[in-house]
Amino acid sequence: MKVLRVCLVLSLPVLCACAGRQARDAAAALPEPPPKPDEVIIVRSDDPLDYRFHMEQEGRRMNADEFDAWMKSRGVRIATGKPGQAPVPAGGN
Query: What is the number of alpha carbons within 13 Å of residue 87 lying toward its C-beta?
Result: 11
41 within some domain? yes
Radius of gyration of the chain (CA): 28
User: Does some domain include residue 17?
Assistant: no
Residue 66's pLDDT is: 87
Domain residues for 47?
37-79
Q: Is residue 14 part of a domain?
A: no
- Ramachandran region, residue 58 (left: φ > 0; alpha: ψ -120 to 50; beta: rest): left
**68 in a domain, yes or no?**
yes
- In this prediction, residue 43 carries a pLDDT of 65
**Sequence-ordered list of residues with C-beta below 8 angstroms from that of 61, at least 6 positions apart, any chain:** 55
Per-residue pLDDT tens over the stretch 8-30:
777 777 666 666 667 666 666 67
Q: Considering its fold, how many domains does the chain have in total?
A: 1
Q: Give the residue ranges of the chain where pLDDT is below 50.
A: none
Could you give the CA distance from residue 77 to residue 69 in angstroms, rounded to a whole number?
11
